[in-house]
Amino acid sequence: MTYRADVLIIGAGASGGVAARHLAEHGFDVVCLEQGDWPDRSAFPGTRPDWELAIRRDWAMSPNVRNRPEDYPVVHDDSDIEPLMYNAVGGSMIIYAGTWPRMLPSDFRVRTLDGVADDWPIAYQELVPYYDAIDRQIGVSGLAGDPAYPPHDDYPLPPLPLGMAGRRVAEGHNRLGWHWWPEPNAILSAPYDGRRPCVQRGVCTSGCAEGAKASTDLTHWPKATAAGARLITGARVSRITLGPQGLATGAVWLDRLGVEHHQEADVVILAANAVGTARLLLLSADDRHCPDGLANSSGLVGQRLMMHPFSVVTGWWDDQVEGWQGHFGASITSYQFYETDPDRDFVRGAKWALSPVGGPLNHILPMRAGNEVWGPDHHELMGRTFGRGASWAIFGEDLPEESNRVELDPGRTDSHGIPAPRVRYRISDHSRRLMAFQEQRAEESLTASGCQETAVASMIPYSGWHLMGTARMGEDPASSVVNPRQQTHDVPNLYIADASVFVTSSGVNPTCTITALALRTADLLVQHRSEQKVPA
Amino acid sequence: MTTADSSAEIDVSRLEELADVMLPAAHGMPSASDVKAVVVYLDQVLGWRNDLRQSLARAVAGLEPATFTVDQLAALHEEDEDAYIALTTAVAACYYLSPEVRGRIGYPGQVAKTYDPYAYTEWVAEGLLDPVVERGPIWREAPG
């Protein structure tokens, strides 16, 4: 007998986990299909001696390098940035850094304030209650009162340690008269909700074996399943099905053996990231109803992909600061050059986050700033720099362009034979000016902080963690894919909970906002449940 | 991407000679062979990263230890990037697994540390954030 759920969620990562918990706790019968598995924390490599070898292969952030059965290839030979992600319960939160900044009020109004891109149909203030709620759900460590933000609730936990490098750069910024603040992190500084605190091991981006870094496999799924949600892993969705009334009826999915199933539901929520969600909407094209892809009457599905140009500026002191140690999220942040300044040759700006630089292999075979040096000079370089550095990680606001997009690749497929996504993405001249300015200022920051040497890794390709914008939110169905409730204009019982809906990218790490939006979407679904159209 | 071949044979003595050119004794640090980096750790490294084996075997077979200089690495990078990555990764991984090398660079590994989560009150009381707070808000008002 076919089982029909109230809500089917596709993807058990950040947005899927948050939505599932809220809906299940409010009485909805929730089923979630996740192509990956539950993460095994004992398999995380950060406590092993091969950690730095593992992150270059089996624990790489690129699905193309990991090449696990649950991954799908992302064709990116026509892209300046390589999309990165992780497919499992918890999603890419398993490998994210854990920095937890909110977007700023101006981020929602870039057309009004700066004459570029588009305003969001919602404002910062509408998200504040959801930001506050999410901070409590996951246990954010931070310090209230940052003058870069409007006042908001205090964080549930005290800030993580500044570390030696954070302290020095904080003092440097005080000398320059520049902004800095302890970074809010989704990493516990003290025991919280049954989880242990961070031990400063510095391996956050290859999985947190302590469970101190928040990911929904820890923070939301146990509560969601306790409230009755059903989570099916190893379930790869191939398309969303549409009924005669133009409503979604569920999704076809393949199990690990390739056996096809159909999960019926009254409401479908896509939560598969801005590449995966666009891919599924395009895969769900139907010659009769939606030949260009599901929910794509605007033609915008897959378009306006944003990925945050990312530069790393590293500075080295002449003494040890244990530069391999500390939470990888960030110790301190700076918004000194975040907002638009009319005297510059670009608008908008970037957020900076100060991070450790890794162990010896990352030092001499750098994935970020630095050079490979062999022969006698190798030891001179290591002696001069190892353990003595810290990096400003700089995310620049990426303005949307329709030419930056996700399509279906005509040749590549995943392990089930489903067409793979192809990403076409170019960093704009505007972004290049913005990032060049930020890189120069970051070198000044580190020099003022006492560093003897600095190096810039400019707009590195291996940096596409932040996938946004491929099904944008808006009031007008002709120029957007979802409405402000994240309900698709074309299919009233199909919602999108992930960062596909972002109108613009802001210049901050997106997961905090992804989860706040997912909570808001789920909450509005609960509030408007009696009005929800469902299949007969 | 190169397909891993677990049967590819690597000439360990040739690799050790190449590793000594890449990591000679200098600046107070031992050479690769001084700490027996390749002899002791290569099996371990390839156990973790067997995907490197075939490319590493190709790099070792293609470089002549007697005349090898580090300047040749750039050409290897240009001509056979997989071989270059395998060689540099394997040599570096073997060397920095050595406890003697780790001790000399002061690296204990990625270790767990304890700390007082409320120690921040000390630097707040000390006034570290005061200049930032005194400059006032820097966020930009936006219409609702």
Q: What part of A 275-334 touches B (C-beta under 8 Å)?
A: 320, 324-325
Q: Which domain holds residue B37?
A: 12-111
Nearest CB to B70: which of A182, A375, A380? A375
The shortest C-alpha distance from B80 to chain A (Å) reads 17
Asked whether the CA dihedral A440, A446, A447, A449 is positive or negative, the reply is: positive
CA gyration radius for chain B? 24
Give tens-digit pLDDT for A8-41: 999 999 999 999 999 999 999 999 999 999 999 9
Least confident stretch, A74-88, A339-353, A366-380 = A366-380
Q: How confident is the model at residue A372 (pLDDT cuts 50, 70, 90)?
A: confident
Give tens-digit pLDDT for A468-489: 999 999 999 999 999 999 999 9
B141 compared with A365, residue with greater pLDDT: B141
- Interface test mutation site (partner B, options A379, A504, A506, max chain B beta carbons within 10 A): A379
Contact with chain B for residue A162, Cβ under 8 A: yes
- On whether residue B125 sits in a domain, the answer given is no
- Cβ contacts of A536 within 8 Å, gap of 6 or more: A243, A245
Residue A370 confidence (pLDDT): 62
DSSP class of residue A51 equals H
Contact with chain A for residue B88, Cβ under 8 A: yes
Nearest CB to B112: which of A162, A201, A386? A201
- Cβ contacts of A419 within 8 Å, gap of 6 or more: A279, A283, A408, A409, A410, A412, A413
Minimum CA–CA partner of A48 in chain B = B110
Contact with chain A for residue B23, Cβ under 8 A: yes
Residues of B in contact with A109 (CB under 8 A): 142-143
What three-state secondary structure class fits A471? coil
Interface touch A324/B110, C-beta < 8 Å: yes
**In contact, A155 and A101? CB cutoff 8 Å:** no
pLDDT above 70 coverage of chain A, percent: 99
CA gyration radius for chain A? 22
Tally the residues of chain B: 144
Average pLDDT, chain B: 94
The answer on pLDDT for B1 being more than 50 is no
Residue A471 confidence (pLDDT): 98
**Of A16, A334, A330, A392, which Cα lies nearest the Cα of A163?**
A330
Mean pLDDT of A499-509: 98
- The two most distant CA atoms of chain A are separated, in Å, by 75
- Please tell me the distance from the alpha carbon of residue A207 to that of residue A46, in angstroms, as a whole number: 7
Q: What part of A 121-140 touches B (C-beta under 8 Å)?
A: 123-125
Average pLDDT, chain A: 96
Residue B104 confidence (pLDDT): 97
Residue B3 confidence (pLDDT): 40
Residue A371 confidence (pLDDT): 72
Interface touch A378/B22, C-beta < 8 Å: yes
**Of B79, B19, B14, B61, which Cα lies nearest the Cα of A375?**
B19
Mean pLDDT of B18-43: 98
Start-to-end CA distance of chain B, whole Å, equals: 51
- Cβ contacts of A200 within 8 Å, gap of 6 or more: A160, A161, A163, A325, A326, A327, B112, B113, B115
- Please tell me the distance from the alpha carbon of residue A353 to that of residue A492, in angstroms, as a whole number: 40
Give tens-digit pLDDT for A145-187: 999 999 999 999 999 999 999 999 999 999 999 999 999 999 9
**What ipTM goes with this model?**
0.94
Tell me whether strands A310-316 and A389-396 are parallel, antiparallel or unpaired. antiparallel
Q: Which domain holds residue A382?
A: 4-531
Contact with chain B for residue A426, Cβ under 8 A: no
Give tens-digit pLDDT for A431-479: 999 999 999 999 999 999 999 999 999 999 999 999 999 999 999 999 9
- Please tell me the distance from the alpha carbon of residue B68 to that of residue A279, in angstroms, as a whole number: 49
- On whether residue B70 sits in a domain, the answer given is yes
- On whether residue B126 sits in a domain, the answer given is no
Number of structural domains found in chain B? 1
Residues of B in contact with A108 (CB under 8 A): 142
Residues of A in contact with B70 (CB under 8 A): 374-375
The shortest C-alpha distance from A371 to chain B (Å) reads 13
Residue A367 confidence (pLDDT): 61
Interface touch A200/B70, C-beta < 8 Å: no
Q: How confident is the model at residue A404 (pLDDT cuts 50, 70, 90)?
A: very high
Helix axes B12-22, B53-62, angle to 10 degrees: 80
Residue A368 confidence (pLDDT): 57
**In contact, A21 and A229? CB cutoff 8 Å:** yes
The answer on pLDDT for A387 being more than 70 is yes
Residues of B in contact with A360 (CB under 8 A): 92, 96, 102, 105, 107
Cα-based distances in Å from A263 to A18, A159, A493, A512: 21, 43, 15, 30
Residues of B in contact with A339 (CB under 8 A): 138-140
Residue A231 confidence (pLDDT): 98
Interface touch A201/B110, C-beta < 8 Å: yes
Residue A176 confidence (pLDDT): 98
**Of A236, A301, A307, A240, which Cα lies nearest the Cα of A11?**
A236
- On whether residue A536 sits in a domain, the answer given is no
Contact with chain A for residue B109, Cβ under 8 A: yes
Mean pLDDT of A219-245: 97
- On whether residue B120 sits in a domain, the answer given is no
The answer on pLDDT for B45 being more than 90 is yes
- On whether residue A53 sits in a domain, the answer given is yes
- On whether residue B124 sits in a domain, the answer given is no
- Please tell me the distance from the alpha carbon of residue A517 to that of residue B70, in angstroms, as a whole number: 53
DSSP class of residue A328 equals S
Asked whether the CA dihedral B4, B6, B11, B13 is positive or negative, the reply is: positive
**In contact, A328 and A98? CB cutoff 8 Å:** yes
Q: Which residue has the tokens 């007998």?
A: A1
The answer on pLDDT for A1 being more than 70 is no
Contact with chain B for residue A154, Cβ under 8 A: no
Residue A185 confidence (pLDDT): 98
pLDDT above 70 coverage of chain B, percent: 95
- On whether residue B134 sits in a domain, the answer given is no
Residues of A in contact with B142 (CB under 8 A): 105-106, 108-109, 112-113, 123-124
Q: Which amino acid is at B10?
A: I
Q: How confident is the model at residue A329 (pLDDT cuts 50, 70, 90)?
A: confident
DSSP class of residue A312 equals E
Give tens-digit pLDDT for A46-85: 999 999 999 999 999 999 999 999 999 999 999 999 999 9
Residues of B in contact with A189 (CB under 8 A): 117
The shortest C-alpha distance from B123 to chain A (Å) reads 9
Tokens of A248: 């979604």
Residue B26 confidence (pLDDT): 98
The answer on pLDDT for A369 being more than 60 is no
Give tens-digit pLDDT for B50-83: 999 999 999 999 999 999 999 999 999 999 999 9
The answer on pLDDT for A2 being more than 80 is no
SS (H, E, C) chain B: CCCCCCCCCCCHHHHHHHHHHHCCCECCECCCCCCCHHHHHHHHHHHHCHHHHHHHHHHHHHCCCCCCCCCHHHHHHHHCHHHHHHHHHHHHHHHHHCHHHHHHHCCCCCCCCCCCCCCHHHHHHHCCCHHHHHCCCCCCCCCC
- What CATH code is carried by the domain that includes residue A53? 3.50.50.60
Q: How confident is the model at residue B2 (pLDDT cuts 50, 70, 90)?
A: very low
The shortest C-alpha distance from B15 to chain A (Å) reads 15
What three-state secondary structure class fits A214? coil
**Of A395, A281, A289, A406, which Cα lies nearest the Cα of A348?**
A395
Interface touch B117/A320, C-beta < 8 Å: no
Interface touch B109/A49, C-beta < 8 Å: yes
Q: How confident is the model at residue A327 (pLDDT cuts 50, 70, 90)?
A: very high
- On whether residue B131 sits in a domain, the answer given is no
Q: What part of B 48-77 touches A (C-beta under 8 Å)?
A: 48-49, 51, 69-70, 73
Residues of B in contact with A382 (CB under 8 A): 29, 105
Interface touch B140/A46, C-beta < 8 Å: no
- Please tell me the distance from the alpha carbon of residue B112 to that of residue A160, in angstroms, as a whole number: 14
- On whether residue A297 sits in a domain, the answer given is yes
Helix axes A14-25, A124-138, angle to 10 degrees: 90
- Please tell me the distance from the alpha carbon of residue B90 to that of residue B59, in angstroms, as a whole number: 11
Residue A324 confidence (pLDDT): 95
Exposure string (b/e) for A320-343, b if CB count within 10 Å is 16 or more?
ebbbbbbbbbbbbbbbbbbbbeee
Give tens-digit pLDDT for A117-156: 999 999 999 999 999 999 999 999 999 999 999 999 999 9
Number of structural domains found in chain A? 1
